[in-house]
Amino acid sequence: MLEKLRDKRLVFVGDSIGRNQWESLLCLLSSAVKNESSVYEVNGSPITKHTGYLVFRFKDYNCTVEYYRSPFLVPQTRPPSGSAKKVKTTLKLDTMDWTSRQWRDADVLVLNTGHWWNYGKTIRTGCYFQEGEEVKLKMNVDDAYKRAMETVMKWIQNKVDSNKTQVFFRTYAPVHFRGGDWRTGGTCHMETLPEIGTTSLVSSSETGQQLKILGDALSRYSNRSETVNVKVLNITAMSAQRKDGHPSLYYLGLRGPAPLHRQDCSHWCLPGVPDTWNELMYALLMKQGRAKEANGTGNVTMS
């Protein structure tokens, strides 16, 4: 894969689960490099949680593997003047994240969003939805997510050079909290086996609705003469089975296990499930490259 990435940029954009996948790929690729000092963050930044971006260069291959934090893919900003007092911030649904100009020219672009598109991360915190200069106080989260996905697809169509950039959109990775969530004592501790043969989390209201909205947004473009050159990395069903793959109490690293009521059942252990996402992405990358060479076209497909 490093040879395929020689002289190229591979960029991940999204939420912390997207960062999880980015970290996975860094580990996989770094394991194939003998000289550890030839892999470094270009600005000297440590791999710690922050609000910006990280760019790791593989010097011997002149390639970079980058991560840009954008949980919604559209910008979260101050509301227009005169907005209702309850509106603390807004998501501008008709505009791509302002950092998009930094990553639209990547050779491989991996987008994800989903975990922040819920009531708790938006309306409950005073974050409402905006189109133009109008704040949509009555718009629900699902409708806002749909509108944002339409903006993303339109941006890919109009701003991304399909002759240069291969775009992947990774679907939602289900969480596995039992008996609550992050705030209310949900657990996944001591889960040691996957749920073989079950798709209950895929058909759950939140996960299923997100997949439907994404599929509808893609269908709007796949039925047009001008298709959008994007591959959907559909990892939802396979990840739904892996209730055993989360850090649970052990996300604090050297600080020791977390309290039982503060478990992490949404992010993933490494090595672990995100490694498989990257293996699938590499297979699709190779397949798409061969198909493009054969017929010179790209299209929208669920993979």
DSSP 7-33: T-EEEEEESHHHHHHHHHHHHHHHTT-
Is 261 annotated as catalytic? Answer: no
Encoding tokens for residue 211? 């997949």
How far apart CA 129 and CA 137 sit, in angstroms, is: 7
Is 264 annotated as catalytic? Answer: yes
Contacts of 178 (CB under 8 A, 6+ apart): 186, 187, 188, 265
Contact 22, 67 (CB under 8 A): yes
Is 303 annotated as catalytic? Answer: no
Please tell me which residue in 16, 30, 162, 222 is annotated as part of the active site: 16
Q: Among candidates 34, 9, 13, which has minimal Cα distance to 169?
A: 13
Give the end-to-end CA distance of the chain in Å, rounded to a whole number: 20
Per DSSP bridges, beta strands 76-77 and 108-112 are unpaired
Please tell me which residue in 94, 264, 266, 275 is annotated as part of the active site: 264
Contacts of 76 (CB under 8 A, 6+ apart): 89, 90, 91, 92, 127
Please tell me which residue in 115, 176, 246, 267 is annotated as part of the active site: 267
Contact 281, 168 (CB under 8 A): yes
Catalytic residues: 16, 264, 267
